[in-house]
């Protein structure tokens, strides 16, 4: 089973990379972009087939290493 973890900066935390992307889009003529937030995607290949256990395990991984919950949110999707 594959788990897809999406990590984004929390609302209110300045995202300078997102801002740089927004400016670059603007200079390319894409004028309608009101905000850009950049995050990261981590894909995990899991041995288990138990969805409930997998969800709990990956959330524990996020809390312990994958996300810094001071500044980041995470979401877990099992696919």
Partner 1 sequence: MRSAIVLFPGINRERDMARALKRASGVEPVIVWHKETTLPAVDLVVIPGGFSYGDYLRCGAIAARSPIMRDVVARANAGTMVLGVCNGFQVLTESGLLPGALMRNAHLKFLCRDVHLRVETAATRFTGAYCEGQTIRVPVAHGDGNYFADADTIARLDGEGRVVFRYATAAGEVLPEANPNGSIGNIAGIINERGNVLGMMPHPEDAIEPAQGSSDGLGLFESMVAALEPAA
Report the nearest approach of partner 1 to the CB of residue 18 (Å). Answer: 10
Residue pair 74/67 in contact by the 8 Å Cβ criterion = yes
Question: Residues interacting with partner 1, by CB under 8 A?
Answer: 13-14, 16-17, 20, 64-66, 68, 70-71
Question: For residues 6 and 77, is the Cβ–Cβ distance under 8 A?
Answer: yes
For partner 1, give the closer residue by CB, 41 or 52: 41
- The answer to whether the beta carbons of residues 1 and 36 sit under 8 Å apart is no
Q: Which one, 50 or 69, has the nearer CB to partner 1?
A: 69
Residue nearer to partner 1 on the CB measure, 50 or 63: 63
Report in angstroms how near the CB of residue 2 gets to partner 1 at its nearest. 19
Q: Are 27 and 10 in contact (CB under 8 A)?
A: no
């Amino acid at each position: 089973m594959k788990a897809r973890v999406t990590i984004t900066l929390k609302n209110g935390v300045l995202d300078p990379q997102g801002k740089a992307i927004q400016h670059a889009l603007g200079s390319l003529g894409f004028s309608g972009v009101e905000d850009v937030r950049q995050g990261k995607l981590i894909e995990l290949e899991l041995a288990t087939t138990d969805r409930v256990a997998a969800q709990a395990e990956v959330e524990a991984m996020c809390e312990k290493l994958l996300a810094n919950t001071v500044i980041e949110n995470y979401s877990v999707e099992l696919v």
